[in-house]
Amino acid sequence: MGKLQRFYLVLLVIATSVGCDQVSKDIARSNLKFAPPMSYLGNTFRLQYAENSGAFLSLGSGLSETARTYLFTFVSGGLLVGLLFYILVNRQFSRRQVIALSLILGGGSGNLIDRILNDGHVIDFMNMGIGSLRTGIFNVADVLIMSGMGLVILFSYLERAMQPAGGPRPNNEDESSKSQAPDIQ
């Protein structure tokens, strides 16, 4: 995959991810903010509005506002820029690896945009579970991040499974220094 193709693929995945995330959060803000939780499929899936000042599952929400701003806006923003650079310059990534990493980048960007526009908060609105066993409240960006991470793990596993039984051949200086004359018979 050429540099320009990679750039456009990353841009497409990020733009689609951020667009879907931000539109879903606008809908949640408009329709769920002052409404009671809505339950579907026997309370397996709930829609309920929440503003999260922490990270995933509200981790870090007890930190001071300054610490949260620094950690969740500036540090995560820097990590996202680093991930973007890594995706664009690493030529060893396959198309599917680029897509998986771009999903993580798109989801992270969606939540970062939320923090910047919503005074350090992220809008969450989905919850799943059975009985008292429930997930935390999450959003489309979180789904994109987790999907991207799952795909990275899956693709790494598949890549290893497809390698020959002996694994990659070690670089042996003695063998590489020998002249390799073709075997003519």
Q: How many CB atoms lie within 10 A of CB 91?
A: 9
Alpha-carbon distance of 65 to 47, in angstroms, equals 27
What single-letter amino acid sits at 28?
Answer: A
Backbone torsions φ then ψ of 18, nearest 5 degrees: -65, -40
Name 108's Cβ contacts closer than 8 Å, sequence gap at least 6: 76, 79, 80, 83, 141, 145
Going by pLDDT thresholds of 50, 70 and 90, the confidence category of residue 179 is very low
- Residues involved in catalysis: 124, 142
Q: Is pLDDT larger for residue 101 or for residue 57?
A: 101
Angle value at C-alpha 55, between 52 and 60, nearest 5 degrees: 95
Q: For residue 169, what pLDDT is reported?
A: 53
Find out whether 148 and 157 touch, Cβ atoms under 8 Å: no
DSSP string, 10-22: HHHHHHHHHHHHH
As a whole number, mean pLDDT of residues 60-88 equals 90
Q: What is the pLDDT of residues 115-158, one digit of tens each?
A: 999 989 999 999 999 988 999 899 999 999 999 999 999 999 99
Q: Is pLDDT larger for residue 185 or for residue 114?
A: 114
Going by pLDDT thresholds of 50, 70 and 90, the confidence category of residue 55 is confident
Going by pLDDT thresholds of 50, 70 and 90, the confidence category of residue 165 is low
Going by pLDDT thresholds of 50, 70 and 90, the confidence category of residue 168 is low
Sign of the CA dihedral with 113 first, then 117, 119, and 123 last: negative
Every domain of the chain and the residues it spans: 3-160
Kindly report the pTM of this predicted structure: 0.82
